[in-house]
Amino acid sequence: MVGLIGKKIGMTQVFNEQGHLMPVTVIQVEPNTVVALKDEEKFGYSAVVLGLGEMKEKHTAKPYAGQFADMKPVKLLKEFRGFDKEVSVGEKIGVEILDTTRYLDVTAVSKGKGFQGVVKRWGFGGGRASHGSKFHREAGSTGQCTSPGRSFKNVKMPGRMGAEKVTVQNLRIEKIDPEVGVVMVRGSVPGKKDATVFLKSAVKREK
């Protein structure tokens, strides 16, 4: 498994080798810095800690800056377990590490949609749209009367929607451009424009 920290640029279209038009999401990957290596002897598991973005030392607290030995502090840190590529502390890695990867699992924070009703949030059908029905997009009954006289837990109701951690699995890599530092994956990726995304190689079984 390999991992990277990137940024969602947006969506576009490309033609694949068969001449089919494919919708792709463009993810920009600036060089990630290897901040630390964790081994099983000391930590109980193996992992690689990657960092992205630079911070001014005067804006860095001492406890946070203590983990950056002989390197500038970074804004964002992400730990990837099971990293099977050999890397060293201080090394810069980019999209070229995905040369042998065909599918990716992409994790990001989805778009926030605010307070929404049950039709948009949970896909309720609602009532008739005809005149005089008086029941269009309401939730309907949510509880019982005298016994037990309350609503049960986990009843689907209106509430805040979106702004949650979402992982989309098995997105096929359509194109990698190491010169620009861009990887294009087929399909959509959670998050708004310029959102931070975490990429991990996935194992996709061919049918």
- Per-residue pLDDT of 63-119, as tens digits, reads 988 888 788 899 999 999 989 888 999 899 999 999 989 999 999 999 999 999 999
* 81 and 128 share one domain: no
Give the pLDDT band (50/70/90) at residue 58.
confident
* 124 and 72 share one domain: no
Q: How far is CA 18 from CA 14, 15, 22, 103, in A?
A: 11, 8, 11, 18
| pLDDT, position 204 | 61
145, burial (CB in 10 Å: exposed 0-12, middle 13-18, buried 19+) = exposed
- Per-residue pLDDT of 112-152, as tens digits, reads 999 999 999 999 999 999 999 999 999 998 888 888 889 99
Count: domains in the chain: 2
Write out the residue range of the structural domain in which residue 166 sits: 3-115+160-201
* 69 and 165 share one domain: yes
**Comparing 8-17, 121-130, 171-180, 198-207, which segment has the lowest mean pLDDT?**
198-207
| pLDDT, position 205 | 55
* 56 and 91 share one domain: yes
* 121 and 170 share one domain: no
* 94 and 180 share one domain: yes
